[in-house]
Amino acid sequence: MNFSILKLPNLFTMSISQNIKRITKDLPKDVTLVAVSKTKPHEDLLEAYSAGQRIFGENKVQEMVEKHEALPKDIQWHMIGHVQRNKVKYMAPFVSLIHGVDSFKLLKEVNKQAQKNDRCISCLIQIKIADEDSKFGMGYDDAKALITSEALSSLENIKIVGLMGMATFTEDITQIEKEFKNLAAFYDSLKDLESKQCDWQILSMGMSGDYKIAVSCGSNMVRIGSHIFGARNYQ
């Protein structure tokens, strides 16, 4: 297949709403789009919202809390960044899905804060598939040990609904495909391990530069930021 990776379309000539519609049209119907809105102002999110987008991803809890308070209440907020346990309490009242769960300790804290808010919070186990030290995530063996552990059964206010992984940032399509396919195979292997705490629904793989490859490898949730909103502002 002919993929174009790590290259942005001409976003300067397309509006946010046009980008949303273009990407949504290209995605299969069973693939969920998470609009990665980190560092973006409310006006940009509202333009995407007006185009029909309802799921937004943030990587900082404080920024997500502020946006949740200011923006329409039917937005589903996904925490896609690395999560510190002491920040879970701030998003527990409203977060729809936490993508980056990479330890049992974090799951315990999510469960604790969900219980305080009389909620069951959905989570994805983040698997480290990239050949990069900067990426977070569990190894395959550790993840399976967690999923099959007796300790997990004591967490009644969380639900593991799938896996998330980020491929190596490279133009080597073969490597990216291999990493995504390995994660997809692991995801498929877990489907017989359903329990009260596990309901396998989501395989979250793919970002702006590689989401087409991810979808071809089995992803049913993609996290796209720069292809929608343009370059991020970290000032």
Say which CATH number the domain at 96 has.
3.20.20.10
Residue 226 lies in a domain: no
Question: Residue 42: which residues within 8 A CB-CB, separation 6 or more?
Answer: 67, 70, 71
Helix H or strand E segment including 228: helix 226-229
pLDDT of residue 63: 97
Looking at residue 156, what is its pLDDT? 95
**Alpha carbon distances (Å) from 175 to 8, 164, 203, 214:** 20, 17, 19, 12
Q: Is residue 78 a part of any domain in this protein?
A: yes
Helix (H, G, I), strand (E, B) or coil at 123: strand
Instruction: Give the per-residue pLDDT at 1.
Output: 46
Residue 228 lies in a domain: no
What is the 3-class SS of 52-67, one letter each residue?
CCCEEEECCHHHHHHH
Can you read off the two tokens belonging to residue 20? 């949303």
* Residue 213 included in any domain: no
pTM of the model: 0.91
Whole-number pLDDT of residue 235: 52
pLDDT of res. 54: 98
pLDDT of residue 192: 86
Q: Is 76 helix (H, G, I), strand (E, B) or coil?
A: strand
Using DSSP, state whether 148 is helix, strand or coil.
coil
Contacts with 192 (C-beta within 8 Å, 6 or more apart), sequence order = none
Run of H or E residues at 36: strand 32-36
The pLDDT value recorded for residue 11 is 46
Structural domain contains residue 75: yes
pLDDT reported for residue 2: 45
Nearest-angstrom CA–CA distance, 162 and 200: 5
**How confident is the prediction along the chain (235 residues), in pLDDT tens digits per residue?**
445 444 444 544 579 999 999 999 999 999 999 999 999 999 999 999 999 999 999 999 999 999 999 999 999 999 999 999 999 999 999 999 999 999 999 999 999 999 999 999 999 999 999 987 767 899 999 999 999 999 999 999 999 999 999 999 999 999 999 999 999 999 999 988 878 899 999 999 999 999 999 999 999 999 999 999 987 665 5
Domain count, the chain: 1
For residue 169, tell me if it sits in a domain: yes
Note the pLDDT of residue 234: 53
Task: Classify residue 7 by its DSSP letter.
Answer: -
Residue 204 sits at φ, ψ, to 5 deg, of: -95, 100
Asked if the structure places residue 60 within a domain, the reply is yes
Rounded CA-CA distance 44/82 in Å is 24
Structure confidence at residue 4 (pLDDT): 47
24 lies in some domain: no
By residue range, what is the domain housing residue 85? 37-204
Give the three-state DSSP class for 203: strand
